[in-house]
């Protein structure tokens, strides 16, 4: 298990997933030590990452959502050297591999819509060797448990989490942390 990522969120296992610029300050003021950035483009990312880092938090960029990026491996070199986030999140295994080559932590995001997606996801994480896995949606405790049995990587449950009881269900099923865009659940 990657102890470094566990150390980042510690006992505060909630991760704000910022999807709107107006939510960034709330995430920076929260007591959550890690922030997922699901917004921005090449012109705004430096500012967003800087705000998170200046707030004393770890910043993870969801690179699939950054406007202006291509699939070229040089993108991860640019992100690592110029933007300097803690790490990236991506559904794309090649981004995960290139991020790690450029000294970034990498979270592989999986959409678990059926058994085939679970099996393909396990294959992808074996190939890309991420530091953690984020599964979507986070409301499927059986899938969290199955993935926990098949990998020692930290598992982050995300997507469709709206109630505190859903956070607890995901954590009890074996998730290491839970990411969500609902600001009321960040505190």
Asked whether residue 181 carries a pLDDT value surpassing 50, the answer given is yes
Q: 1: pLDDT confidence band, cut at 50, 70 and 90?
A: very low
* CATH architecture type of domain 3-185: Alpha-Beta Barrel (3.20)
Report pLDDT for 11.
79
Asked whether residue 3 carries a pLDDT value surpassing 60, the answer given is no
DSSP per position, 112-179? --SHHHHHHHHHHHHHH--SEEEEESTT-HHHHHHHHHH--S-EEEESS--SHHHHHHHHHHT-SEEE
Report pLDDT for 68.
85
Assign 50 to helix, strand or coil: helix
Mean pLDDT, range 128-140, rounded to an integer: 92
d(CA 153, CA 131): 7
Mean pLDDT, range 80-94, rounded to an integer: 94
Mean pLDDT, range 147-153, rounded to an integer: 92
**Count of other CB atoms within 10 angstroms of residue 80:** 19
Residue 143's φ and ψ, nearest 5 degrees, are: -70, -35
DSSP per position, 56-85? T-EEEEEGGG-BT--S-THHHHHIIIII--
* Tens digits of residue pLDDT in 55-84: 999 999 999 998 888 778 888 999 999 999
Report pLDDT for 105.
95
Report pLDDT for 5.
73
Q: What is the pTM of this model?
A: 0.91
Can you say whether the dihedral through the CA atoms of 78, 41, 94, 2 is positive or negative?
positive
Asked whether residue 141 carries a pLDDT value surpassing 80, the answer given is yes
* Tens digits of residue pLDDT in 12-44: 899 999 999 999 999 999 999 999 999 999 899
């Amino acid at each position: 298990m990657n102890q470094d990522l566990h150390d980042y969120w510690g006992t505060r296992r909630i991760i704000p997933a910022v999807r709107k610029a107006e939510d960034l300050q709330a995430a920076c003021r929260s007591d959550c030590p890690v922030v997922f950035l699901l917004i921005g483009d090449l012109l705004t990312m430096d500012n967003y990452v800087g705000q998170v880092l200046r707030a004393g938090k770890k910043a993870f960029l969801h690179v699939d959502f950054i406007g202006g990026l291509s699939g070229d491996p040089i993108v991860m070199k640019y992100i690592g050297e110029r933007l300097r986030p803690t790490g990236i999140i991506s559904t794309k295994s090649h981004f995960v591999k290139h991020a790690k080559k450029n000294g970034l932590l990498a979270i592989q995001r999986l959409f678990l819509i059926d058994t085939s997606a679970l099996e393909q996801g396990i294959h992808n994480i074996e190939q890309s060797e991420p530091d953690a896995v984020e599964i979507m949606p986070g409301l499927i405790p059986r899938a969290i448990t199955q993935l926990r049995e098949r990998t020692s990587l930290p598992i982050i449950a995300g997507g469709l989490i709206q109630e505190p009881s859903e956070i607890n269900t995901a954590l009890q099923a074996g998730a290491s942390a839970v990411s969500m865009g609902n600001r009321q659940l960040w505190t």
